[in-house]
Amino acid sequence: MHFHKIHGLGNDFVLTRDLDPARHDLARTARALCDRHFGIGADGLILVLPSEKADFSMRIFNPDGSEAEMCGNGIRCFAKYVYEQGLTEKTNLAVETLAGIIKPQLKVSGGEVQEVRVDMGRPRLTAAEIPVAGFGPGPVREAELTVDGTKLTFTAVSMGNPHAVIQVDDLARLPWQTLGPAVESHSAFPRKTNVEFAQVLGPQEVQVAVWERGAGATLACGTGACAAVVALSLTGRLERRSTVHLPGGDLEILWAENDHVYMTGPAATVFTGEYLLDLATLA
């Protein structure tokens, strides 16, 4: 299996065209490939596939084998892959995902993708769309949640995948890596949830630590950065155009007047290679 290892702000992925969804157990394959000791090592496996609705189709699997609807950092890596591998000459793409059609715009210099601006679409804000249980059918803003004896206040947002954004005063003093998995699997989230712990630094600046559903603590999360800006804008703590500081670097997020969220950030290829394990054993 030929593959590329590409990361967006340290959120790293294995991308390949060589896996047939009809022939392989993709959950089991993702667990094997993403293992950092016995596999390639990654925060996710991304399949590059044809589409009847868009230029390409993207499927993404977490290290635990679960399939995600979308991934903000992953789709920037996907856009870099398809352009630099000569699969397209377009710099404005339409990519089919489980969250709908997502539209990356590529900034190219010298044949290489330097930066990707992604139209992430409209945020979903009602409990049924996200989904969230036990807080009524409408928007869930600054709702109280108790996990492991700790009371947290969260705002729920979906960017095609569910997010619980928790505003905190001091990230450095919060045991977020312990609280993250407890929130992820809380009964309030029927499909589990990604969790963002967000410390506002200024009207256009926020620091975010992410616990990703199915992946754990990661260095960056594109949909999470978008969700954080939306949630904190809704609650009056942040402006709609803001910089999100993540452990792996910064993303620029704009929640525009047309209600679409735009994410801008880099993607970088780490290495390419061949995976030699007989994938027939994973069928």
pLDDT per position as a tens digit, 1-21: 999 999 999 999 999 999 999
**For residues 103-116, average pLDDT:** 97
Strands (E), the chain: 2-8, 11-16, 44-49, 56-61, 67-68, 95-97, 100-109, 112-119, 143-147, 150-158, 162-167, 194-202, 205-212, 216-218, 241-246, 249-255, 261-265, 268-274
The predicted model gives 177-184 an average pLDDT of: 97
Q: Which two tokens stand for residue 278?
A: 């007989």
Asked whether the predicted pLDDT for residue 85 surpasses 60, the reply is yes
Contact at 8 Å (CB) between 232 and 226?
Answer: no
pLDDT-above-90 percentage for the chain: 96
For the chain, how are helix, strand and coil distributed in percent, rounded to 5?
20, 40, 40
User: What's the pLDDT at 279?
Assistant: 57
What pLDDT sits at residue 172? 95
Q: 223 burial class (0-12, 13-18, 19+ CB within 10 angstroms)?
A: buried
Indicate which residue of 34, 71, 77, 226 is catalytic. 71
Domains and their CATH numbers in the chain: 2-121+266-282 (3.10.310.10), 143-259 (3.10.310.10)
Alpha helices in 97-221 (DSSP H): 176-184
- Judged against a pLDDT cut of 80, whether residue 122 lies above it is answered with yes
pLDDT at 186 over 90: yes
Task: Spot the catalytic one: 34, 77, 221, 226.
Answer: 221
Q: In whole angstroms, give the CA distance from residue 124 to residue 67.
A: 20
CA-to-CA distance for 123 and 161, rounded, in angstroms?
Answer: 10
DSSP 214: T
The yes-or-no verdict on residue 99 having pLDDT over 60 is: yes
Active-site residue flag, 226: no
Q: Residue 218: pLDDT band by 50, 70, 90 thresholds? A: very high
| HSE-up of residue 134 (Cα within 13 Å, Cβ side) | 8
Q: Is 34 a catalytic residue?
A: no
